[in-house]
Structure formats: structure tokens, C-alpha cells
Structure 1
Amino acid sequence: MRMTYATWNWFSIRKQRRARRMTNEGIIKLIEGDWQSAEKKVTRWSNSHDMPLLCYLVAAEAAHEQGKNQKRDQYFELASKQEGSELAIGLTKGKQAMAEGDFATAFDVLSSLKHQYPENPRLLNLLKTCYIQLDCWQPLLDMLPVLKRVKGVDKAEYHKLSVQAHAGRISELANQQGVDGIVRYWDKLSKSFKSENVIIQTFATELINRGADNTAITVLKEATLKAPTAELLNVFPTLNITDWHSVLKHLKSLEKKFSDNGDLHSVIGQIYMLEGKWSDAQVYFETALKLRPDAHDYGQLASALHKQNYTNAANEVSQKALLLLSK
């Protein structure tokens, strides 16, 4: 008995509806973490689904979560036979690699899609994470304006990532090109980025690490004139110098304007410790601690007192440091 077109069409629609229902149930199971059921439901009726690509991608995700990598790759192979599947497959593969901490593989997969889909927000956001994890700072800087344009990041995140990337690029160039390389990079930075503490701190630290302490001093002095923050002040004691006169003169000039800055007093105390001027260091640490409690300063004060043979006082201060650390 021959099946009429109407009958065939009725069965076809019925199969398709069932396939959709099973796929929907499979997606719910995937969200719930029931990977095995998810895989079973989305593959059973995939041939009857009007969008088999969805079935194969859900199945690949479920297989991946079960550690069935060979099965996962089979689903990806089936998915690749569907028209317009490249981006969806690439995003899924990249996301899975990132979840396993394999950012190099994710980078390779996602980068291969970037030329064809240069403004896809999801792709760019995944690449952003890869760039950060792999310290690919220049590619991140190049991509950020596009990511901002497609609303993949807001203004605040754009600025934060730009600062992070510039600081990272400075460290990268320091290893590749030394002092000359980072000075050239610094000179090309905009005024706004040159006022960012993270970038200044990184630049000064890399200069110090490579013996350009005098240049670092100039940068730090200029940066701390208006805003002597802890991040910048704490770079001063790391300088590899023997004559601290000009540094102390600068810091003490700041002391007049920022007398309530405990970090400033602490750094002056640290420099006096480096010079072996224990009583001067003691005064500055005591002042710093009056302004705010700090375990490191208590430890430094205890050392200054020990150097002057004030053993009992040093022990009392050490106890305060331990008490603060235990909180």
C-alpha cells in the first residue's frame, strides 16, 4: 500500500516535533549536569531534527564533560558536515579547551576564525581571555578597540584591560629589548596612561631590574608629586643605590603636604633602615603606625629597636605584629 504525500508529511512533522522535544529535554539535562542523559536524548533523534547542528554540539559538550574525547570529536565531525557550522564548532572547541586550562589550543582554534569573523563579540571575548592568559599583550591592545566597538566590553573594562596590557607589554619589552625598548615604549604612551599607577610601577620596576635606577628615580619623583600612593612609594626602597640623599629630600618634601600618609612615613623609615640610621627609622615607623596598623611596619620597628638594643620594646612590638597577622 502506497503512502500518500499527506500521510508521509504527517509522519515527517511528527518525527520533527519529537526530535525537537527530545533535544530540548537534552539541553535541560546538559544544564542540570546529567551529561549521559543529555547525550542520549540529543543524538537519538538528531537525524529527524530540522537543526542537527544543535544536536551534535550539545552531544559534543555532553561527551566532553564525561571525558569521552573520542566520542566528542566524532560529534564535531558530524557537526562539521552541516552548513554554516564553522563558527559554532570553533567557539565550542575553544571554550572546552579553556575550561581545561589549555589556552594555547584555544588560542589556535579561535585565532583561525578571527579573519572570517573579525567582529563577533563572543569570539573576541574568548580571544581576550586567551591573550591575557598567554601574555599576548600587543594582540590584546590591537583587539580592544574592536571589542569596545561591538560592545564586547564596557568603558570601565576597556580602560582596565588597556592598562593591564600596556603594563604587560612593558615587561615583555624589558625582556626582549632592555631599557632602550621600554623607554621608547614609555615615550609613545599617552599622557593618561603615563599617569596610571600600575604602568608607572611596572616601568620603574623594570628600569631598576636592569640597572637604570636614575631614570626610575626621575619617573617615581614626578609620579608621586601629586599622588604618593602605596604602590609607587614602595618602589623607592627597591632602588639599587648607595646615596639616598635626593630620594629622601623628595620624600620629605612630600611629607609636608601629605603628613597623614602612613605609607609615606613607612617608606622613609625603610630607607633609613637601609642607611643604618636606626633611631631615625624608629621615629618614622612609629609615626606610620599611629596613622594605620601594619604588620610589616611593626616588624621593621622591632628590627630598628633591636639594632639599638631596646630588647624589651622590640619584643613588645613583635607581639603586636604577630597579633595583627593572626587576625
Structure 2
Amino acid sequence: MIRLLLLAIVLVGGLIVGTTFADQQGYVLISVANTTIEMSLTTLVLFIGALIAGLFLLEMIVKRILSVSNYTRGWFSARHLRKARYNTFKGMIKLHEGEWKEAERLITKGGRHNDFPLLNYLAAAEAAQGRQQIDLRDKYLQLASEQDDSTLAVALTSAKLQMRQKQYELALATLQFVKVDYPRNPVLLELLKECYLALNEWQALKNIIHPLSKANLITDQQALELEEKAECGLMAVIATNKGTAGLLEHWDALPKKLKKHIPILICLIQQLQIRKADSEAYIILRDNLKKRADDRLVALLPTLNLADYHPVTVLLESMADYDVRNPVIQSTLAQLYMRTQKWQPAREHFEAALAIREDMSDYAYLARVLDKQNRKQAAADLSRKALTMVDDKG
């Protein structure tokens, strides 16, 4: 608009000047080197006006050409983007269908003109691993890491793929790299849990149980089971490295809440038995059984290798008097009498246990006791009954 106004002013001015000085045109002389140009003042004014108009016209033509070029370029750009999205979409479908090679081809092709190629690189890494091309997988992950705001997504994807390849140490290093900045990320916590379980990193597993619970990633029951599993694993490590003394020291230092967990107590007893510390195991069992008669603890008593079983027998007799209908106590007491070759009381307690509930092991034990008492036929009958129960289970 301003240019048109300026051109109009020049033309009008030229007409006014031309009309005013029509009788007195004068002249203008331009001399450049050996060339001279002479013209009237009116002609000069009209020439300048025409020159300005020509420049304006040239500008309009250039702009029109450039706008057509931009439109063409935009059309091609939009076409490439649509094609990239289509290839990405088809590639993702192939990825979920397990057609790794075709998925990788389409996804990488779609990433060339995609506005945000991060997802393409991550998906291509998964496809490459599906073809067992681990080096190529890592190349795609590297390309993904070069994109903006990609740190967490690349780390989580890398760890998932590494764990599928059983590369747990590598996955753990990958996760720990981002754990400082994203300590509450739910996917990160889940992957850390799986890594710790696979690598027997029991103390580290114990440390994330509370964050897992707080993020509602595990139930209270699952948290309890993880706590027990981690503590049992930790006990095994301590027993291996520090022996019986170190194991008992660790047990003494445990919170009372954990000491009440039967599975943890059973793990302690089993670790003590492995290290031939059956006497120490019995003392712990005895003290706990006096507080609560748990069948799981009672069943451990016959597995102990003790020099004298009399205290154990006395303990169980008192428990049997208190809970005469408990088949586990009756069976355990019978097994202890078997170990000391007291066949008659062993028989009586096995029969008492079987009168309460049928049990294949107790039938087999009772058959052995009857054989020791020279009741061969009765022993054979019970052995057949035990075998029948095995077949029925099968």
C-alpha cells in the first residue's frame, strides 16, 4: 500500500512538474566517463517514475514465484509427513504381530520424515532385538538418546530389552543411571524389582518395597511376600559369608515384627541346619513354639539332627496334651519316637494322626513301624494303601 502511494506521488509530481514547466523544460546532462546523456527535466521525472514502477512490478513477480515455491514445498513436506505416519502405523502393527524384519523396515522408513522420530527409534530397537540383532538394537537406542527429552524413555526401553535378553547386570546399570532423577517412576520401580530378584540383590530389593507399596504397584500381601523372600535370600548370603555366628547376629538385630514371620523363621532354621547348627536351631524353635504352636514349626522338629531327642519329645508331649486333635503334632511326635526306635508309642501316635486325617507319608511311616514289630501283613496292607494314594494323586 505504501509503495503504491509512493508511486502515485511520484507520477502526480511528475505530471505537475511537466505541466508547470512545459514551456521551460530545461535539460539535464549526465556525464559518465566518455558517455553523456542529455534529456529534459520532464523526461527525467517520468523515467524515474517508470523505474520505480518497474521495480515494484519486479518485486511482485518475485514474491509470487516464491509463494508458489513455498506452497509446492509445503505440499511435498505434508505428503512426506503423511507417508511417514502411515509407515510408522503399519510398522507398529507388524511389531505387535512379531514380524520383526518388516516392522523394522517400515518403522525406520517412517522415522526419516517424522516430526518426532524418538518413538520410531525405540520401536526399531525392539524389532531389531526380535531379529537378535543386538548391535543394531543398540544403534537405534543411541539414535533415540540423541532426541530431546528422551533420557527416561530410552533408559526404560533399553532396560526392558536388556532384561528380555537376560542382560540383567546391564539393565540394572541402565536403570540406576536414571534412578537419581526419577526415583518414584512406577515403571522404573517395577523393572528394578525384577532386576533385583534376578540378580539376588536382596538388600536393594528390601529398600524398594516401601516405594513399590506407596506407588500401589504391589498389594500388602505381595509386599509381605517380597519382604520374606528378600530376608531369606539375605540370610543365605550372610550365612555363606559370615557363618553361623554372623547369621545369629543378623537374626538378633532383626525387628521383632520380622521375627514373627514364620517363613523367615523357617529360613533361619534351614540355614542353621545347612551349617550343622541344629542345636542352635532347636533352641530358637523351642522358644517360638512356647509362644505359638504353629504346625509349620512343629514339622521342622524331626528334621533336626540332635544328640538327645528327649527334650524335644517332652515338649511335643505337652503340646499334644494341650491340643490332642492336632494331627501334625501327633505325626511329629511319632516320627521322633521312630528315631529313638520306640515302636509302640510311634505306632500309637501315627494311628492317632491318621484317625484325624489321612496322609500318605504317615501311612508309609506306620507301615515301617508295623514291620519293625513283625506285623508283616499289616505293614504290607498299609504300604499298598500309601501307593494307592500316590496313584490317586497322579
Q: 1:10 to 1:195 in 2, by over 3 A?
A: same
Residue of 83, 90, 101 corresponding to 1:36: 101
Q: Which position in structure 1 is the counterpart of 2:370?
A: 305
1:118 maps to a residue whose letter is P
> Which amino acid is the alignment partner of residue 177 of structure 1?
K
Amino acid at match of 2:134: N
Matched residue type, 2:310: H
Does residue 1:281 correspond to 2:346, yes or no? yes
Question: Is residue 228–residue 264 contact of structure 1 (8 Å, CA) maintained in 2?
Answer: no
The answer to whether residue 244 in structure 2 is matched with residue 179 in structure 1 is yes
Instruction: Name 2:29's counterpart in structure 1.
Output: none
CA contact (8 A) 2:86 2:110 kept: no
CA contact (8 A) 1:122 1:152 kept: no
Q: How far off its partner does 1:316 sit? A: 1.3
Taking the TM superposition and a 5 Å limit, the aligned residue runs for 1:127-142 are 127-142=192-207
Aligned length: 327
**8 Å Cα contact 1:26-1:38 kept in structure 2:** yes
Give deviations 1:19-42, integer Å, cap 9, x for gaps. Answer: 223222322222222223322221
Shift of residue 319, structure 1, vs aligned partner: 1.3
Which of 296, 303, 317 aligns to 1:252? It is: 317
1:271 to 323, 336, 354: 336
Which sits farther off after the overlay, 59-68 or 206-215?
Answer: 206-215
Would you say the 8 A contact 1:107–1:130 is kept in 2? yes
Asked if the contact 1:19/1:45 (under 8 Å) is kept, the reply is yes
1:237 and 2:288 equivalent? no
From 209, 212, 217, the counterpart of 2:277: 212
Cα gap change, 1:104/1:284 in structure 2, threshold over 3 Å: closer, same or farther? farther
**Structure 2: distance between partners of 1:207 and 1:78:** 53
5+ residue gaps, structure 2: 1-64
Instruction: Between the two structures, name the one with larger relative contact order (CA 8 Å, sep ≥ 6).
Output: 1
Counterparts in 2 of 1:3-22, with a 5 A limit? Answer: 4-22=69-87
Counterpart pick for 2:215 among 150, 154, 176:
150
For 2:149, give the aligned amino acid: G
Query: For residues 285 and 314 of structure 2, what CA distance do their matches in structure 1 show?
Result: 13
Give the corresponding residue for 2:121. Answer: 56
Correspondence 1:196 to 2:261: yes
Amino acid at match of 1:231: R
Q: Check 1:235–1:72 CA distance in 2 against 1; reply closer, same or farther (3 A cut).
A: same
Separation in structure 1 between the aligned mates of residue 309 and residue 209 of structure 2, nearest angstrom: 42
Q: Which residue of 2 aligns with 1:116?
A: 181
- Paired residue for 1:168? 233
Distance (Å, rounded) in 1 between the aligned partners of 2:323 and 2:131: 59
Instruction: State the secondary structure of the residue aligned to 2:379.
Output: helix
TM-score (norm 2): 0.77
Q: Give the equivalent residue in structure 1 for 2:156.
A: 91
3-state SS of paired residue (1:203): helix
Summarize deviations over 1:172-224 as a string: whole Å, max 9, x none.
11111122222222222222211111111111222233343333223212333
Equivalent residue, structure 2, for 1:72: 137
**What is the percentage of aligned positions where both structures have the same residue?**
37
CA distance in 1, matches of 2:171, 2:337: 50
* Structure-2 separation of matches of 1:271 and 1:40: 70
For residues 151 and 272 of structure 2, the distance between their equivalents in structure 1, rounded to whole angstroms, comes to: 46
Please tell me whether residue 316 in structure 1 is matched to residue 381 in structure 2: yes
Match of 2:112 among 47, 67, 79: 47
Aligned with 1:81 (options 140, 146, 164): 146
Task: Identify if the C-alpha distance between structure 1 residues 130 and 260 changes in structure 2 by more than 3 Å, giving closer, same or farther.
Answer: farther
Cα shift at 1:293: 2.5
Query: Contact 1:225 / 1:254 at 8 angstroms: preserved in 2?
Result: no
Quickly say closer, same or farther: Cα 1:265–1:97, change in 2 above 3 A: farther
Letter in 1 for 2:306: I
Provide the C-alpha distance between the structure 2 equivalents of 1:101 and 1:234, rounded to a whole number of angstroms.
38
Select between 109-118 and 191-200 the one with higher mean Cα deviation.
109-118
5+ residue gaps, structure 1, are: none
* Deviation (angstroms), 1:227: 4.3
Q: 1:185 to 1:311 in 2, by over 3 A?
A: same
- Secondary structure (helix, strand or coil) at the match of 2:112 reads helix
Q: Structure 1 pair 319/99, CA: closer, same or farther in 2 (3 Å)?
A: farther
Does the residue aligned with 2:325 lie in a helix, a strand or coil? coil
Q: Determine helix, strand or coil for the equivalent of 1:48.
A: coil
TM-score by length of 1: 0.91
Q: Give distance in 1, aligned partners of 2:297 and 2:80.
A: 68
